[in-house]
């Protein structure tokens, strides 16, 4: 009888563990886009911050917002908007480097975490990906553009929230500058993230502010 009870308990514990693992795996992926979830991003970003604390090697974070997605939702419906969001997210995930992490952190906002990436590397990576997306938008007739803020961290910020706020502020600087562009900056704890030095159109042409 004790053996039967032990086997039953062992089986139930195994089922509970597997159920928890299945639930955790669902939490890692965003249900709309299939890329990383907000929770996954926090886990990966926390690990990246710990790595940078040890190595003092730079990394970059791109924060992307789809200009015109609200209009797509209003004219074509939310299914079309979700399809567009998934298209952008999966292109970022597919065309980014293997070490990069793409995640949806809310609404139509996506991030791309790029380890071991200095300002030049971030510029090259984003220009390549945005060129692909611009071509897709043209070919498929999507009436949207992208506003992107890219922050390079040569020193680790205090935490993941500060990292996100810096990149989000940089993205809003792109919107204020007219949308459909990329703003680049380097993080400085003593300076506001919105003090962006340079902006570029998605095709890479520099523009003075």
The more confident residue out of 12 and 28 is 28
pLDDT digits (tens, 9 = 90+) for 57-102: 999 999 999 999 999 999 999 999 999 999 999 999 999 988 999 9
* Phi-psi sector, 186: left (phi>0), alpha (psi -120 to 50), beta: beta
Instruction: Return the pLDDT at 1.
Output: 56
Query: Does the structure show a pLDDT above 80 at 204?
Result: no
Contact present, 114 and 60 (Cβ < 8 Å): yes
The pLDDT of 12-26, averaged and rounded, is: 42
Residues present in the chain in total: 209
Instruction: Return the pLDDT at 207.
Output: 34
Q: What six digits make up the tokens of 18?
A: 């597997």
Contact present, 49 and 59 (Cβ < 8 Å): no
Q: Name the architecture of domain 31-207.
A: 2-Layer Sandwich (3.30)
Tell me the β-bridge partners of 152: 60, 186
Tell me the β-bridge partners of 110: 64, 104
* Phi-psi sector, 205: left (phi>0), alpha (psi -120 to 50), beta: beta
Query: Does the structure show a pLDDT above 60 at 203?
Result: no
Strand ranges, E, within 17-120: 59-67, 101-106, 109-114
Beta strands at 101-106 and 59-67: parallel, antiparallel or unpaired: unpaired
């Amino acid at each position: 009888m004790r053996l039967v009870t032990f086997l039953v308990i062992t089986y139930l514990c195994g089922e509970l563990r597997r159920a928890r693992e299945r639930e955790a795996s669902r939490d890692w992926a965003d249900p709309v886009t299939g890329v990383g979830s907000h929770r996954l991003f926090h886990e990966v970003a926390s690990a990246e911050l710990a790595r940078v604390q040890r190595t003092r090697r730079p990394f970059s974070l791109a924060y992307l917002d789809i200009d015109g997605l609200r209009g797509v939702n209003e004219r074509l419906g939310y299914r079309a908007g979700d399809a567009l969001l998934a298209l952008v997210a999966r292109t970022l995930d597919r065309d980014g480097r293997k070490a990069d992490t793409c995640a949806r952190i809310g609404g139509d906002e996506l991030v791309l975490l790029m380890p071991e990436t200095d300002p030049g590397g971030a510029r090259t990576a984003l220009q390549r990906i945005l060129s692909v997306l611009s071509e897709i938008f043209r070919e498929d007739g999507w009436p949207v553009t992208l506003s992107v803020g890219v922050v390079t961290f040569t020193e680790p910020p205090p935490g993941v929230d500060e990292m996100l706020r810096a990149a989000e502020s940089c993205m809003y600087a792109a919107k204020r500058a007219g949308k459909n562009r990329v703003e680049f900056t380097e993080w400085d704890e003593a300076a506001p993230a919105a003090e962006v030095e340079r902006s570029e159109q998605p095709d890479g042409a520099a523009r003075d502010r």
